[in-house]
Amino acid sequence: MKILSIQSAVAYGHVGNSAAVFPLQRIGVEVLPVYTVNFSNHTGYGAWRGPMIDPREVGEVITGIEEREVFPQIDAVLSGYQGGEGIGDVIIDAVKRVKAANPRAVYACDPVMGNAKSGCFVAPAIPDLLRDRVVPVADIITPNQFELGYLTNTSPDTLESTLASVDAARAMGPSTVLVTSVERPDREEGTIEMMAVDDRGAWLVATPHLPMKANGSGDVTAALFTAHYVSTGDAKLALERTVSSVFDLLQRTLESGERELQLIESQEFYASPRLQFTAHKVR
């Protein structure tokens, strides 16, 4: 499998491509990483150095890949945090060209905007860009519950309302939706859930809620789910494998006391997921 991953990169820590590439490689995926920024560290520290890469230069890198006649071999295009408005056009154009070369290729978009606690933390134009132009051309999207609500102008909180919001998102274009954090009032205490929905149904899985915030965990989640789903076509199995790997990654990070994901130390969790959580069908 080959994945063209258009995301940010950092030298220290693990977000964007610096979070997604290694887990994908560890499960046997050939990754073609294209960087949208090249920062010293993620912006959550409040200070960082390095350039945001001009969208035209990002496009030039993608064109160079195309000139190597690789596009017919690409199985998926993956994108995440979009630092500036212009990068959306580059991604949409790349998806169009990859799909022209390989009609079976899919586009997986992680519509990064924010979360319920912090609100939106992207540039003001990005949420509308994602909702109106990027998500409609995606095959897979991986929003959290807050982002799902923004994309669909809904307020998902219960299982029923979250399913309805997913239906609204799927009506926009994507056939598959992974909701990376489902928090509903009637869930089992001390848990958090993840939901995957495609044409075959909807599956929900619960894990213990770990008391931590880990930048980059969403990037790992989107990458692993995309790879597992594209390789198997099975949303339930892709969900279980992803949740298993990400939970063990987060638990090891929590136990380490470190702020950054223990991405390398957790590599066996990607290669051999324990499958300790079972997803159940909710529709």
Calculate mean pLDDT across residues 102-125.
82
**Per-residue confidence (pLDDT) for residue 117, from 0 to 100:** 65
**Per-residue confidence (pLDDT) for residue 17, from 0 to 100:** 97
3-class SS of residue 79: strand
Whole-angstrom Cα distance, residue 186 to residue 159?
A: 9
What are the residue ranges spanned by the domains of the chain? 2-281
**Per-residue confidence (pLDDT) for residue 82, from 0 to 100:** 80
**Per-residue confidence (pLDDT) for residue 227, from 0 to 100:** 98
- Flag whether pLDDT at 118 surpasses 70: no
**Per-residue confidence (pLDDT) for residue 125, from 0 to 100:** 74
Selection from 214, 270, 278, 210 nearest residue 245 by Cα:
270
**Per-residue confidence (pLDDT) for residue 120, from 0 to 100:** 64
Does the global pTM surpass 0.85?
Answer: yes
Looking at the DSSP assignment, which residues form a beta bridge with residue 197? 177, 202
Among the ranges given (8-17, 76-85, 154-163, 218-227), the one the predictor scored with the smallest mean pLDDT: 76-85
pLDDT band for 50, please (50, 70, 90 cuts): very high
Q: Which CATH number fits domain 2-281: 3.40.50.1820, 3.30.830.10, 3.40.50.300, 3.40.1190.20?
A: 3.40.1190.20
3-class SS of residue 34: strand
Calculate mean pLDDT across residues 115-144.
83
Whole-angstrom Cα distance, residue 231 to residue 256?
A: 32
Helix axes 145-152, 159-171, angle to 10 degrees: 50
